[in-house]
């Protein structure tokens, strides 16, 4: 709670003059989140598909 | 140190959130919002085989929980801090003093960020609880009805909840609606950016929750229910209970989307929760991307939202190319894409793959060398039986 109060009071102190800076940081954070999420999913999907193929190859001809 | 350097570089590139940046923020916001609904739908339909056509109900519950419950708590807390709010207790004042009270509340929130964040978290908690409760209610017919009838019942439930919202004023202000305070009024910058970041963060958390659940034994149980629930019931699993739990969990998550939407619009009205927007579009995202996998859901959501926002933003530029009013283009795309996907790509752009569990090789498990001499087996069984009889 104290931490939040501190952050809030710092933000108020800096005031509207620094609003553009916050916006810039948050904008790029937003882009990063937007990119990270699908990138992680695609990475995981590719890995799983690879592992499935390998498992298939390993057991090929044995069944 | 690296964080400081990165923040320094980023903050040295001041940019105004307008023009193309505004469009990017807008797309990101709606992507985060609808991807939560689409992921919850994928959880229900793609993995458990429950055709939930009542996503709108779950979103409405989230929105109404803010306007009916949290807003009253907010006003009570703010009024007790000495802010001279107008009376909001009877339905008339609830609607007509809403703009004035919300204006004063925003002024209060500007200097009381922790309380505002507390209100936001409280909204999410209440929406989760009420969403789970509505999921339980939705599950009651789901136990007895087959897929087609269940879909019809859920569609009517979505409409019913909208009608209730329209006629019961104290829930969300009836036809006029109520204003909602800006819980991020303390943020000095652009409201849209911070809202988009928070929505995407919540979307990311929801994604990891769903991912963990789907990769767990419970996820495999859900898939087996989707494939054949008679078999699952015959081996002693409580199909009704599993279905109810899934609906409750997914409803709770979907209700969060309603909360975010209300805070983003800063206004709550039943007309914003039509089934076309909150049910059919998420279904199209799911079917286009491919049900049963998160990658498909994300791809579907990204494509559809980008397409919709571009149509909305560039409607005047697009109008000369069409002989009909451009707002209809969205509906035409909804229907057309659905038909095209169902004809040419019924399993979606990214079809569901076999379930991969690290360290488990199904093929090996299947080919376990169990030597049974089937010719000798009946004789052995008979011998065993005669021995037991003698004893």
Q: Kindly report, residue by residue over B287-331, the tens digit of the pLDDT.
A: 998 888 888 888 899 889 888 888 888 888 888 888 888 888 888
Residue that finishes a domain, picked among B241, B276, B311: B276
The Cα–Cα gap between B50 and B245 comes to 12
pLDDT digits (tens, 9 = 90+) for A11-60: 555 555 556 678 888 888 888 888 887 788 888 888 888 887 887 777 66
Find chain A residues with C-beta within 8 A of B15's C-beta: 20, 23-24, 27
Residue that finishes a domain, picked among B230, B259, B276: B276
Q: CB of B221 within 8 Å of any CB in chain A?
A: no
pLDDT digits (tens, 9 = 90+) for B157-203: 888 999 999 999 888 888 899 999 999 999 888 888 999 999 999 99
Asked whether residue B321 is domain-assigned, the answer is no
Choose among B60, B209, B35: nearest CA to B130: B60
Find chain B residues with C-beta within 8 A of A46's C-beta: none
Residue that finishes a domain, picked among B221, B253, B276: B276
Find chain B residues with C-beta within 8 A of A59's C-beta: 361, 363-364, 367
Q: CB of B201 within 8 Å of any CB in chain A?
A: yes
Mutate to test the interface with A, among B11, B36, B360 (most CBs of A within 10 A): B11
Residue A56 C-alpha, separation from nearest chain B C-alpha, in angstroms = 8
The Cα–Cα gap between A24 and A45 comes to 32
- Same domain? For B96 and B189 the reply is yes
The Cα–Cα gap between B144 and B154 comes to 13
Q: Which A residues in the span 16-35 are in contact with B, Cβ-Cβ below 8 Å? A: 16, 18-31, 33-34
- Same domain? For B264 and B387 the reply is no
Q: What phi and psi values does residue B71 have, to the nearest 5 degrees?
A: -60, -40
Please give the C-alpha separations between residue B326 and each of B313, B314, B321, in angstroms, as whole numbers.
11, 10, 9
Provide the pLDDT for residue B388: 58
Q: How confident is the model at residue B154 (pLDDT cuts 50, 70, 90)?
A: confident
Residue B277 C-alpha, separation from nearest chain A C-alpha, in angstroms = 22
pLDDT at B225 over 80: yes
Q: Where are the beta strands (DSSP E) in chain B?
A: 178-179, 267-268
The Cα–Cα gap between B133 and B127 comes to 10
Asked whether residue B48 is domain-assigned, the answer is yes
The Cα–Cα gap between B144 and B244 comes to 12
Number of compact structural domains in chain B: 2
pLDDT digits (tens, 9 = 90+) for B363-379: 666 555 555 555 655 55
The Cα–Cα gap between B199 and B206 comes to 10
Mean pLDDT across the stretch B272-296? 88
Asked whether residue B89 is domain-assigned, the answer is yes
Count the Cβ atoms, other than its own, within 10 Å of residue B60.
30
Q: CB of B287 within 8 Å of any CB in chain A?
A: no
- Same domain? For B251 and B386 the reply is no
Contact across the interface for B367 and A8, Cβ inside 8 Å: no
Q: How confident is the model at residue B357 (pLDDT cuts 50, 70, 90)?
A: low
Instruction: Measure the N-to-C terminal CA separation of chain B; round to a whole number of Å.
Output: 82
Q: Which B residues in the span 108-147 are in contact with A, Cβ-Cβ below 8 Å? A: 111, 113-114, 117
- Same domain? For B73 and B189 the reply is yes
**Sequence-distant (≥ 6) Cβ neighbours of residue B108 within 8 angstroms:** B78, B81, B83
- Same domain? For B109 and B236 the reply is yes
pLDDT digits (tens, 9 = 90+) for B33-75: 999 999 999 999 988 888 888 899 999 999 999 999 999 999 9
Which bin fits B238, alpha (ψ -120 to 50), beta or left (φ > 0)? beta
- Same domain? For B270 and B364 the reply is no
Count the Cβ atoms, other than its own, within 10 Å of residue B51.
16
State which residues form the domain around B369. 359-391
Provide the pLDDT for residue A6: 59
Who among A34, A41, A48 is closest to B28 (CB)?
A34
Asked whether residue B172 is domain-assigned, the answer is yes
- ipTM of this predicted structure: 0.74
């Amino acid at each position: 709670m104290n931490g939040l109060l501190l952050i809030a009071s710092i933000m108020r102190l800096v005031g509207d003059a620094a609003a553009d800076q916050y916006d810039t940081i948050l904008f790029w954070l937003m882009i990063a989140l937007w990119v990270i999420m699908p990138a992680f999913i695609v990475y995981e999907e590719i890995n799983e598909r690879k592992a499935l193929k390998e498992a298939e190859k390993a057991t090929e001809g044995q069944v | 140190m690296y964080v400081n350097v990165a923040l320094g570089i980023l903050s040295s590139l001041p940019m105004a959130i307008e023009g193309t940046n505004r469009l990017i923020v807008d797309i990101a916001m709606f992507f985060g919002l609808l991807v939560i609904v689409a992921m919850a739908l994928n959880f229900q339909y793609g993995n458990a085989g429950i055709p939930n056509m009542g996503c709108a109900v779950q979103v409405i519950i989230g929105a109404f929980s803010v306007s009916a419950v949290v807003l009253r708590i907010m006003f009570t807390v703010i009024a007790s801090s000495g802010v001279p709010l107008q009376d909001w207790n009877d339905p008339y004042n609830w609607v007509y003093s809403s703009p004035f009270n919300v204006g004063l509340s925003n002024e209060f929130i500007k200097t009381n960020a922790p309380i505002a964040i507390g209100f936001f978290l409280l909204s999410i908690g209440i929406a989760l609880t009420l969403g789970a409760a509505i999921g339980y209610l939705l599950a009651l017919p789901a136990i007895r009805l087959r897929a087609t009838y269940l879909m019809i019942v859920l569609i009517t439930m979505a409409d019913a909840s909208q009608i209730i919202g329209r006629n019961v004023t104290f829930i969300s202000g009836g036809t006029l609606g109520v204003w909602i305070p800006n819980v991020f009024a303390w943020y000095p910058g652009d409201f849209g950016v911070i809202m988009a970041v928070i929505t995407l963060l919540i979307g990311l958390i929801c994604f990891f929750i769903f991912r963990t659940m789907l990769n767990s034994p419970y996820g495999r149980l859900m898939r087996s229910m989707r494939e054949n629930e008679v078999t699952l019931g015959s081996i002693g699993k409580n199909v009704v209970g599993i279905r109810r739990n899934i609906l409750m969990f997914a409803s709770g998550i979907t209700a969060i989307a309603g909360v975010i939407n209300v805070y983003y619009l800063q206004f709550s009205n039943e007309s914003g929760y039509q089934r076309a927007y909150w049910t059919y579009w998420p279904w199209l995202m799911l079917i286009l991307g491919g049900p049963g996998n998160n990658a498909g859901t994300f791809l579907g959501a990204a494509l559809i939202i980008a397409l919709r926002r571009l149509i909305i933003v560039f409607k005047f530029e697009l109008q000369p190319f069409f002989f009909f009013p451009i707002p209809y283009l969205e509906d035409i795309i909804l229907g057309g894409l659905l038909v095209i996907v169902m004809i040419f790509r019924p399993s979606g752009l990214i079809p569901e793959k076999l379930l991969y569990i690290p360290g488990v090789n199904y093929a090996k498990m299947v080919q376990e060398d169990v030597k049974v001499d089937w010719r000798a087996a009946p004789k052995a069984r008979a011998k065993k039986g005669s021995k037991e009889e003698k004893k």
